[in-house]
Amino acid sequence: MKQHRLAAAVALVSLVLAGCDSQTSVELKTPAQKASYGIGLNMGKSLAQEGMDDLDSKAVAQGIEDAVGKKEQKLKDEELVEAFAALQKRAEERMAKMSEESAAAGKKFLEENGKKPGITTTASGLQYEVVKKADGAQPKPTDVVTVHYTGKLTNGTVFDSSVERGSPIDLPVSGVIPGWVEGLQLMHVGEKYKLYIPSDLAYGAQSPSPAIPANSVLVFDLELLAIKDPAKEDAAAK
């Protein structure tokens, strides 16, 4: 978490905190009021994810009041820099701990999952289960395929799903995470697989979304619907 990001988050939240107290009922009728509430809600969630759950709302309100009123600030810049650095360090330590715990939990999950009937583990560590067999063609790394999928964490939480959106997607076999690249080439058109992807074949420590913790094992229900024909695609484009 960067210092400027933390400062901006605190400033945005303070705009909401400064205008209300426990005795005030906030109206949420106009678009501006609703948007204001949304800013506070989203930033509050973001700060909670960063471990910022012990902010002093009165101090936050005082800071914004002093800035808007052009009053003399009550802390020197050096003190503020030191405080932000302390919070940044705390957040980094928290994230490192969560990352370690996620990696350990993922390793344990794969060890136990690999012992179940019907689960195959490849040399890379990818695990898969054939849910529905078919005799269609198998895609190559250079192919573009049409798939339906649902992505979950090991606890069953869904983080993405073309099925829920009601629309399959086209994607290049070589342009996805390593676990998908390998898994797709094992499949035949018409088949459904369940992929259990180790974090090093997914996103590793660099999560693309707060919905996916760092070092997470990902579980995908994947259906290979078709392999796109480049010749037909080119003809249709002319």
User: Exactly one of 109, 193, 196, 203 is catalytic; which is it?
Assistant: 203
Q: What's the angle, vertex CA 170, arms to CA 169 and CA 174, rounded to 5?
A: 125
Is 193 considered catalytic here? no
User: Exactly one of 149, 193, 196, 227 is catalytic; which is it?
Assistant: 149
Q: Residue 190: left if φ>0, alpha if ψ -120 to 50, beta else—which one?
A: left
User: Exactly one of 39, 66, 84, 160 is catalytic; which is it?
Assistant: 160
- The residue count of the chain comes to 238
Is 84 considered catalytic here? no
Is 197 considered catalytic here? no
Element (H, E) at 220: strand 218-227
What are the φ and ψ backbone dihedral angles of 83, each rounded to 5 degrees? -65, -45
Q: How many C-beta atoms lie closer than 10 Å to residue 187's C-beta?
A: 24
CA gap 210, 212 in Å, rounded: 5
Is 220 considered catalytic here? yes
- Catalytic site positions: 149, 159-160, 177, 203, 220
